[in-house]
A and B are shown apart, each in its own frame.
Chain A
Amino acid sequence: MKTLGRSELARMVALHLPRQGFVNLGIGAPTEIGDYLPPDTDVMLHSENGVLNVGPRPPKEAEDWDLINAGKIPITLGTGGAFFDSTLSFAMMRGGHLDIAVLGAFQVSERGDIANWTTGESNGAPPGIGGAIDLAVGARTIWVMMDHTTKEGAPRIVRTCTFPLTAAKVVSRIFTNIAIVDVTPKGLVLDAVLDGLTPADVQAVTGAELQPAKKLRKIQPSGTVVS
């Protein structure tokens, strides 16, 4: 099946972010969304290790290991940015001060449950939770960015999560490499489908029922979405 690449998926999410507001991009793939924000964006990126207004990555020679994001990658500080300690940073998160958090996930259920911290099969390796729950519980809006299926082809959008939950009933929108799906009180609504695929193709690799939106949008291979 045709899919969007990771960069195009990141670009698609970036194009959907509001032009302003406070946004946290989860560690891993969602962090890449920052690379596709328009240069004149008024979005301020928050990172839970104590930064507001995360700027672009610095060139190699300007990296400073005292200036990193939550993924432990060197960053720069944007104009008007600030540093603060972890208690204040997590107050921003739990206190509902972040407009949107975009998180990666292993599974999302049809009622918006998210499982993104462990698949429960650790092979003896220690689990890690970091700030995943704090974000999932605290940000006003939770978006998920993930591949539509596992590498083996199993659906990640499911009726009920089988992996341990990060938080229940929090996700409102899912961006995948073949579709955009909204979580609504009436169930999952298919908002957009990758060009060349049909809603039936998407349904076939989804573990919960999708209702097509009245006006289904089309995802172009670049990650741009058109009506």
Chain B
Amino acid sequence: MRNVVVEDARAAVQGLKDGHTVMVGGFGNAGLPLAILKAVVEAGVRDLTLISNNAGTVEDDLTLWFRAKIVRKIICSYPRGAKAFTELYRKGEVELELVPQGTLVERIRAGGAGMGGFPSPVGVGTDFAKGKQVLHVGGRDYILELPLKADFTFVKGKLADTVGNVTYNMTARNHCPAMATAAETTVVEVDRIVAAGELDPEAIVTPCIFVDRVFARAKA
């Protein structure tokens, strides 16, 4: 039977290369794969394009990546209050693409769902419409938003089974299920791994088809 369990965080980030595009789940403190974030820094990669909601909230999250200067560009919705990122941004050492939060996650969904983008009402008539194609549908204006995909997605789940089905914990779900669909390699850090068949099929949020590796913070 399929088994996507890897031993540790180091094995979880195997294959990550300089210049890769990486999605990282999480909103504030909730849903961040902290062990993986550390392992990425230890892997010594650089020039990453990072797609995430925030740019580091506390010291042990994406802040590590900006302290280590391994991010070339971030695509996110709310980088405010992120100290290490702000320092680099002020010095012009990191590029920022600011995207409204709902548009960010829908672009990720489009990437994972094989769509060529979507016409969005969000941002029409604002700075966020600059340079984007305008479409008229049913008497309303929309702007064309393009899909986002990644080489790697790193998200945090609550439970995974050995075949790679994943559940989440409360608001730690956030962007994680969408991101899990949109990468070449999706890696999920979970609290605990259970045997296949132990998760209620009705409770599975990310089905195993999207998941390439799971890694448990603490063994069951």
Contacts and interface: CB of A to CB of B under 8 A. Distances in A.
Interface of A: 47-51, 64-70, 72, 77, 83-87, 89-90, 93-94, 124-134, 137-138, 164-168
Contacts, number: 142
Contacts of A164: 126-127
Contacts of A90: 101-102, 105-106
A114 to B, nearest CB: 10
9 closest Cβ contacts across the A-B interface? Answer: A90-B102, A134-B102, A72-B28, A128-B80, A128-B78, A86-B105, A131-B101, A66-B172, A130-B78
B176 A128 contact: no
A68 B100 contact: no
Nearest to B104: A86
A51 B171 contact: yes
Contact of B100 (A50, A85, A134): A134
6 contacts: A68-B30, A86-B178, A127-B80, A129-B99, A134-B101, A164-B127
Nearest to A47: B171
Contact of A127 (B31, B98, B121): B98
B105 to A, nearest CB: 4
B101 A68 contact: no
Nearest to A93: B102
Nearest to B169: A66
Contacts of A89: 102
Contacts of B99: 129
B123 interface: yes
Given A50-B174, A128-B77, A166-B126, A133 B100 contact: yes
Given A49-B27, A66-B172, A127-B98, A165 B80 contact: no
A128 B102 contact: no
A17 B82 CA distance: 34
Contacts of A125: 80, 86, 89-90
A126 B101 contact: no
Given A64-B170, A70-B27, A166-B126, 10 more contacts: A49-B30, A65-B29, A77-B170, A126-B86, A128-B79, A129-B128, A133-B103, A137-B124, A164-B126, A164-B127
Interface in B161-177: 168-177
B125 A134 contact: no
Interface string B72-106: 00000111101001100110000010111111011
A167 B124 CA distance: 8
Contacts of B178: 85-87
Nearest to B27: A49
A94 B101 CA distance: 12
A165 B126 contact: yes
Interface in B1-54: 27-31
A133 B126 contact: yes
Scoring A77, A85, A166 by chain B CB atoms within 10 A of each residue's CB, the highest score goes to A85
A127 B85 CA distance: 12
A104 B176 CA distance: 28
A66 B30 CA distance: 5
Contact of B101 (A83, A129, A166, A168): A129
Contacts of A129: 77-78, 98-101, 128
Contacts of A47: 171
A47 B178 CA distance: 18
Contact of B105 (A67, A69, A87): A87
B57 interface: yes
B55 interface: yes
Contact of A84 (B80, B103, B173): B173
B93 to A, nearest CB: 12
Given A72-B29, A133-B126, A126 B173 contact: no
